[in-house]
Structure 1
Amino acid sequence: MSETATGAEATGTTAAGNNSFVVVANRLPVDMILEPDGTKSWQESPGGLVSALSPVLEKHQGCWVGWPGVADEAPEPFRTERGVLLHPVELTHYDYEEFYEGFSNATLWPLYHNLIVTPEFNRSWWDAYRDVNLRFATEVATVAAPNATVWVQDYQLQLVPGILRQIRPDLTIGFFLHIPFPPSEIYRQLPWRDEILRGLLDADLIGFHLEANVRNFVELCRAYDLEVSGEIKIREAGITITAANGHEIGVGVFPISIDTSAIAATLAANSHHEAHEELEQIHRDMGSPSTVFLGVDRLDYTKGILQRLLAFEELLDSGALDPSEVALVQLATPSRERIDSYRITRSKVEEAVGRINGRFAQIGRPVVHYQHRSVTKDVLLRYYRLADIMLVTPFRDGMNLVAKEFVATRADSSGALVLSEFAGAADELDQAHLCNPFDIEDIKKAMLQATWGLDDNPEAMKERMSAMYNQVIEHDVDLWANSFLGALDKSRP
């Protein structure tokens, strides 16, 4: 779908403030397209979150508020093909550098991921974070109908619930954190810890992926002498926290998942003979390896890409894996490349790829196939089907939907998953070959267990994959959205 950003009708709808359900996230699900004649248009960018929320947005005359992804550019509000109203918030280059690259991703991201790299505490970044959160909240207040429900998404917008509570006390406000929440002693290193906690505690419901995240948040609230009651529940607001002003906040575990029906539909559409031949051709082009390992990650220091490459290299070096029989495909999506820690990560990863291929590849047949660019969903699903063993080894991850996407392509129960025990998905996909991503020996052990299992005990491996497949199919993204919004509705005053 392509939409030119000139929608008078949509603009009028937005101004009227009659949207009973509003989603607010850092990014809108759109991409800017530069046409050959120099004009700009905006294309809907499909994803798990928009797929989950679109039916709810349509049902309730919903509106999605967010940044369109390009600095100093924003279309007029317009509707997607599904009828969802997209309301852009324009950010300047300064906002992008200070709010997004700075405070969000060089302060909060490393802090919330348990200090994998050292966070930077920069006061001008904080000022930008506060200002941008105010801008988002103001836009939401403009588009939301009286007594509307607002669902705020993720760490970039943690002040929005508090600001909205002040300017629109009639709203019911939910907040969901898509990344881990750190232990109290780590969170409290943040100089602006009080302001962010106050912002969160003006929500009516706060959702996390894992029980461990809820425990960390509850521990923090107790450190502030707040009253905590109830017990942790899955897909329910089992915990109640009473803020200093008497406001009660529900807290629960709501594990996010994927749009399994969309994956199944794409796989069905690509089940024809030509698609199968194309997959076999890719395999032949790789040298027809007997075992294909696959990694799919943003090129982020939390993802453990270098450690899995080092583990692969050591297995080749020891002879445990034969370089003429195996291949590793690493798809590394560019991410935050102007931040020093990300540039360093890319340099180390690409150095390792070059060294491994220099040592073990044959002319015309790399042993590591590395790609540093984004791929379409169709291409990604093709690689999922090509792989024998998926490698998902982050140091820390809120959930990791790549692991679930791979499993969802395995209706035939084939293949194996090597999964970090510190990925949120490990709580649900416990039939994977779990490993400690900080321990290269443990990664090697899990890779070999998966490899040998496929060769020597295929029936047991099918049972493991079948259990994970059923778990993912039964607990899809619709269940995540519906359970959170159902709990939020119960919290409505």
Structure 2
Amino acid sequence: MSHTYDFVVAANRLPVDRVTGEEGNEGWRRSPGGLVTAMDAVMRGRDGAWVGWAGDPGEAPAPFDDAGMQLHPVPLSEQEIADYYEGHSNDTLWPVYHDVIITPTFKRSWRGAYRAVNKRFAQACADIAAEGATVWVHDYQLQLVPQMLRELRPDLRIGWFNHIPFPAVELFAQLPGREEILEGLLGADFLGFQRTEDAGNFLRAVRQYLDLDVTGDVVDLGERQVRAAAVPISIDVEGLREIVESDSVQARAREIREQLGNPEKILLGVDRLDYTKGIRHRLKAFGELLADERLDPSKHKLIQVATPSRERVKAYMDLRDQIELTVGRINGDFSSIGATALTYLHRSFDREEMAAMFAAADIMLVTPLRDGMNLVAKEYVTCCADDGALVLSEFAGAATELSDAYLCNPHDIAGLKQQIMKAVDAPAPQRRQRMDSMRSLVSENSVQQWAKNYLASLAAAPKAPSTQAAS
């Protein structure tokens, strides 16, 4: 039998991206992102493996080691990428879980692909998990894995964490196969969510659609119990501080200010190009503030980074067109020769460049219409100057913790404009006080601490009586 592991992580993607070197030789590069950083810290010194898709259609590469992390690729065909990932995960579940900002699409063939891929992930975990191992499943793409895995390996300790919101019962009700998802999740011993409200939404759905007894945050299945609670995710505070405090990043931050003509205030937005992020609302508010002459395009500059995302999904193509039209209109109306009011960047940047932008920005605009957490808010708090200011949507999970931000309802453009101006006009001591409070909070709750808290909750979850694994 091949090697088995005491700790297995399952996520849609492996923590690496395939890269081609200058001489055409292929290799792997560690993906940026909080989850990868957290798991790195957790897996160090453990006998662990990561199960996920390698990013290319067709046959999966053989299992391999990357910087001491054992990676076990799961294959996906072109059709499965279209149906399971772009279809059911991102055109059915994602809209429903984000308050139906756009209308979800329901297709039975997509659900079938979702089920098949989840089964493949469950089998891959079952094959490499040691007796009594801990398996930590991540996110909305793999909601059926916990139950499928329990049927294959009842000896395992199984956890699941949702990185996005969990919808209110009234919205979840729309999903065909809603009971199947709830039953899939209840295969876990412990379910982690970003906010207490998300865990509450899940528990209400279980009570309503499965008619199970729920006491506090525990679901009683008779033969065992399942706990669902909030364990909000965070960032690698120390790693990011190290980057932002380096001489090269501080020099780049000064250079960014100079490139913009050393304005009085730099406003910054950093998002995936996604309709949940409220980019259009933010641009509308900024454009109106320029039109109202409450902001001066020679003194107040906005940088909007929109990282490409799901570019084959129609809703995302439409969004890109709308945003580019708005950017063009604002710059056409308010820019002067050689000095644009709004700098729009539709591409990805490395961690150093992002840290430099955070350090350069006086005001961060994080205005999602709905977000599980939004780590950009926490990254800005970690990187910015002591008198930086954060304008934050109350619909981001981060708002629960970062209550000293200038909180806004992004749907209310007048209210959003008011909060932006509050942040622009606030005296430096007030901004410092607010930032100091938020910075302390983020420092105490690093991504490493989040992983520890989650695994402690999983270890403490009620254990089912062990039975023989299914043959």
TM class by smaller structure: over 0.9
Instruction: Pick from 403, 425, 440 the counterpart of residue 398 of structure 2.
Output: 425
Take 1:409 and 1:38, find their aligned partners in 2: how far apart are those partners? 36
Q: Which residue of 1 aligns with 2:467?
A: none
1:86 corresponds to 2:68: no
Q: Paired residues, what number?
A: 462
Any idea what SS the aligned residue of 2:437 has?
A: helix
In the alignment, is the contact (CA less than 8 A) between 1:413 and 1:469 conserved in 2?
no
Q: Which residue of 2 aligns with 1:10?
A: none
Any idea what SS the aligned residue of 2:268 has?
A: strand
In the alignment, is the contact (CA less than 8 A) between 2:256 and 2:357 conserved in 1?
no
Q: Which residue of 1 aligns with 2:176?
A: 191
Take 2:299 and 2:165, find their aligned partners in 1: how far apart are those partners? 38
Alignment of 1:42-441 (within 5 A): 42-72=28-58, 74-81=60-67, 83-223=68-208, 224-230=210-216, 239-243=217-221, 246-268=223-245, 270=246, 272=247, 275-410=249-384, 412-441=385-414
* Matching residue's letter, 2:25: T
Any idea what SS the aligned residue of 2:44 has?
A: helix
Shift of 1:17: 4.2
- RMSD, aligned α-carbons: 1.3
Q: Which residue of 2 aligns with 1:473?
A: 443
1:22 corresponds to 2:8: yes
Take 2:44 and 2:237, find their aligned partners in 1: how far apart are those partners? 20
Any idea what SS the aligned residue of 1:261 has?
A: helix
- Please, which runs of 5 or more residues in structure 1 have no aligned partner? 1-14, 231-238
* Partner deviation per Cα, 1:308-328 (whole Å, 9 max, x = no partner): 000000000011111111110
Further displaced range: 72-81 or 353-362: 72-81
Any idea what SS the aligned residue of 1:419 has?
A: strand
Take 1:403 and 1:31, find their aligned partners in 2: how far apart are those partners? 25
* Partner deviation per Cα, 1:202-235 (whole Å, 9 max, x = no partner): 11000101011111112112213211113xxxxx
Shift of 1:78: 1.6
Shift of 1:177: 0.6
Take 1:165 and 1:374, find their aligned partners in 2: how far apart are those partners? 39
TM-score normalised by L of structure 1? 0.91
In the alignment, is the contact (CA less than 8 A) between 1:419 and 1:432 conserved in 2?
yes
Take 1:366 and 1:17, find their aligned partners in 2: how far apart are those partners? 58
Take 1:111 and 1:348, find their aligned partners in 2: how far apart are those partners? 22
Q: Which residue of 2 aligns with 1:443?
A: 416
In the alignment, is the contact (CA less than 8 A) between 2:365 and 2:390 conserved in 1?
yes
Further displaced range: 442-451 or 221-230: 221-230
Take 2:249 and 2:37, find their aligned partners in 1: how far apart are those partners? 25
- Please, which runs of 5 or more residues in structure 2 have no aligned partner? 465-471
Are residues 267 and 278 of structure 1, via their aligned partners in 2, closer, same or farther at CA, if it must alter by over 3 Å?
A: closer
Once superposed, which parts of structure 1, at least 4 consecutive aligned residues long, lie more than 4 Å away? none
* Partner deviation per Cα, 1:229-257 (whole Å, 9 max, x = no partner): 13xxxxxxxx21013x5331011110100
Shift of 1:275: 4.6
In the alignment, is the contact (CA less than 8 A) between 1:61 and 1:84 conserved in 2?
no
Are residues 181 and 147 of structure 1, via their aligned partners in 2, closer, same or farther at CA, if it must alter by over 3 Å?
A: same
Any idea what SS the aligned residue of 2:130 has?
A: strand
In the alignment, is the contact (CA less than 8 A) between 2:244 and 2:359 conserved in 1?
no
Any idea what SS the aligned residue of 1:90 has?
A: coil
Shift of 1:161: 0.4
Further displaced range: 211-220 or 172-181: 211-220
Take 2:282 and 2:249, find their aligned partners in 1: how far apart are those partners? 30
Shift of 1:16: 2.1
Between the aligned residues of both structures, percent identity stands at 48
Take 1:135 and 1:275, find their aligned partners in 2: how far apart are those partners? 43
Shift of 1:35: 3.0
